[in-house]
Amino acid sequence: MLHDRILLEPSAEAGERKSSAGIVIPATASMGRRLVWGQVVAAGPHVRQANLGDTVLYDPEELAEVELEGSAYVLLRERDVHAISEPAEQSSSGMYL
C-alpha cells in the first residue's frame, strides 16, 4: 500500500439489504447517499487514524474496486473515510448501570 491509501473488505450490507418489514432492497435501488461499513485489511505508511482490523464508514460512490485472489476489495484514501467505529465495551457483570 502506498501513501494514505486504505484497502477495505466491504461488509455484506454494501449489496442487497432488507427493510425492517423484511422487504429485500437490491443494491441497484436508487436512494440518497447511503454510506456503508468496511473492515481495514491493509493501510499505507501515511495513514494516521485507521488501523488494521478497524471498521470504517465510507461512501460507496467514491471508491475504486479491486479484485485480489478472487476476493473483491475497496481502495480509497484516508480522507474519504467518514467514521471509524469503536469496539463495544463489555462489562464483566453483564449488567447495565
pLDDT of res. 88:
64
Count of alpha carbons within 13 angstroms of residue 93, beta-carbon side: 3
Mind listing the pLDDT tens digit for each residue in 11-59? Answer: 766 556 666 777 776 666 655 667 888 999 999 999 898 888 899 998 8
pTM of the model: 0.68
- 36 vs 57: CA distance, rounded Å: 6
Judged against a pLDDT cut of 80, whether residue 76 lies above it is answered with yes
Judged against a pLDDT cut of 70, whether residue 80 lies above it is answered with yes
- 75 vs 48: CA distance, rounded Å: 16
Nearest CA-CA partner of 6 in 30, 32, 38 = 38
Alpha-helix runs per DSSP H in the chain? none
